[in-house]
Structure 1
Amino acid sequence: MKHEINQPIKDILQEAGLYHRQLLEFNDVNSSVISLGDYILADVNGDDTIDVKDVRVLVDNKLVKVTEVDTTNALITLEKPVVSGQEVSVRFASSSVEPEYVEKVRTEALSEIISKIPCEAAWAEEYNPTLRYIQRLMAAGMLLVRDYGFNEDIENTSKDGYKKLELASEKLNTLIATVCGEACSRSAQGFATRDDGDLFSKRPHISSEDW
């Protein structure tokens, strides 16, 4: 049986506190291409893809069309060029970790859950919301634990990460005990965490506010 319960990358980043809404304002753009600097762009609509639907641009308070988003270089291309002196505002989301790495951690979390669940009954559709919640907690916890000790400006990341892993373990134990039987719940004990080094390069903060 194929087990697909993947939480969107956006939800995992939000759970970890690593997802931020941004607003950048310019008045010196003289091109159809706008650079967003060193930001790592993040998905806004929860479809795990960063594209034109995830960026909102206003020129002189009028919404304009975005035709391309270059996530590698943090560049956006507008349908029509902007003239210097026009007021440009760009709304988007960012994170301090590449989405590809979050996807890797999300896969690891799912594999961990699959290895702990001893019965197929727990994969019934009615339990999918609980399993997605467990996956979100576990993946967010892994990100926070692995970040600890490298980026000192993020306080309590290790403690918060282990708390999320502990809560994920409790929720999974409860699910297994309820659906598979009490004796099987012990198989969910002890999620693994591996330190892959410094995951997050520090990014300069420009400005941010809610959409």
Structure 2
Amino acid sequence: MNPNYETKQAILEEAGLSQIVNGEVLAGVIDGTNLVFNTIYKPITDSNDDDQIDTTDITVYVNGVPVFVQLLNELTGTITLKTAPAAGTVATCDYRYSPVTDAYMNKIREEAEDWINSAMDSIDPVPYGSGVPSTNTVVPPTVRKLTRWYAAAQLLMKDYGFNHDTNMTSKDGASKMALLEGSGEPGKPGYKPGLLNKYIAIGGMSGISDVSAAELDTYAEPDLFSTVDATSGLTVSVDDNFMRDIYQEQLEDGLIP
């Protein structure tokens, strides 16, 4: 079985769709016999990044002391305790929830992985981390990032696009897709290469690009007039900045010692 490129929790967090609840008073009768309680929000989602939703993803307290959770129905937010809280006590819960169901998360993550594989299959052995060839055992950090950004962008654009801001780390889906796929038209002024363009340009995980020199030119900003870098004060070209980005991607993927 091939590993997934990113956890569903990481994707939901990237999209701003994983909400944390701490200390919520559970709904249910506390009379010394009742074991079943309900959260206000649902569905409950993974909180320990293991890609499973189970009783380890919630913590229930009775008068501030953690108690054993026997069963969890994440879709309904129904919790069954092992021991009934005594009358007069208070049961609270810490958990995460999202408007996105786990089934839909599986679908959106698979879509992201297929998008990456179709773009990279002529450059790298895909699926990543499959063990074929034997050196392909780890999902590169850039591939994890591509998966996270693409899936988050799709969530926001398709069904859950209420989280909008205007800075460079925008959770808005269209902004994330522009960061992935670039903006503008290749070869024309104003074109900005996306993360996928840059990963293809450096040859992906293998670091051996089959992109021709002519094609590579379209990834760089065509306006090569020098500019002054605001941080260093040095005169650099936009192309220099592009090559710095490529170098950073190589570092992240372990291609440079």
What's the TM-score, normalizing by structure 2? 0.63
**Equivalent position to 2:211, from 159, 167, 182:** 182
Question: Does the 8 A contact of 2:39 with 2:77 survive in 1?
Answer: yes
Aligned partner letter, 1:29: I
Separation of aligned partners in 2, 1:50 and 1:159 = 25
Separation of aligned partners in 2, 1:137 and 1:171 = 10
Separation of aligned partners in 1, 2:19 and 2:63 = 24
4+ residue segments displaced more than 6 Å: none
**Residue matched to 2:25:** 25
Structural mapping, 1:55-66, within 5 Å: 55-66=58-69
**Secondary structure, counterpart of 2:115 in structure 1:** helix
Deviations 1:96-126 (A, max 9, x none): 1101101101000110111111212685567
CA 61–112 in structure 1, closer or farther in 2 if over 3 Å, else same = same
**Equivalent position to 1:89, from 92, 99, 108:** 92
Aligned partner letter, 1:25: V
Structural mapping, 1:94-173, within 5 Å: 94-117=97-120, 118-120=122-124, 123=128, 128-147=140-159, 154-156=162-164, 160-169=172-181, 170-173=194-197
What's the TM-score, normalizing by structure 1? 0.76
**Residue matched to 2:227:** none
CA 56–159 in structure 1, closer or farther in 2 if over 3 Å, else same = closer
Aligned identity (percent) is 28
Q: What's the CA shift for 1:16?
A: 0.3
Q: Which one has the largest radius of gyration?
A: 2
CA 159–47 in structure 1, closer or farther in 2 if over 3 Å, else same = closer
Aligned partner letter, 2:63: D
Separation of aligned partners in 2, 1:159 and 1:48 = 22
Aligned partner letter, 2:12: L
Q: What's the CA shift for 1:166?
A: 1.7
Gaps of 5+ in 2: 129-135, 182-193, 204-208, 220-257
Question: Does the 8 A contact of 2:42 with 2:97 survive in 1?
Answer: yes
Separation of aligned partners in 2, 1:82 and 1:172 = 53
CA 116–73 in structure 1, closer or farther in 2 if over 3 Å, else same = same
Separation of aligned partners in 2, 1:88 and 1:50 = 21
Gaps of 5+ in 1: 189-211
Aligned partner letter, 1:101: Y
Q: What's the CA shift for 1:147?
A: 2.2
Separation of aligned partners in 2, 1:145 and 1:14 = 16
Q: What's the CA shift for 1:62?
A: 1.0
**Secondary structure, counterpart of 2:79 in structure 1:** strand
**Secondary structure, counterpart of 1:81 in structure 2:** coil
Question: Does the 8 A contact of 2:150 with 2:180 survive in 1?
Answer: yes
Question: Which has the larger helix fraction?
Answer: 1
Separation of aligned partners in 1, 2:60 and 2:171 = 38
Question: Does the 8 A contact of 1:13 with 1:140 survive in 2?
Answer: yes
How large is the RMSD of aligned CA atoms in angstroms? 2.8
**Residue matched to 1:193:** none
Question: Does the 8 A contact of 1:20 with 1:95 survive in 2?
Answer: yes
Structure of higher RCO (CA pairs closer than 8 Å, 6+ residues apart)? 1
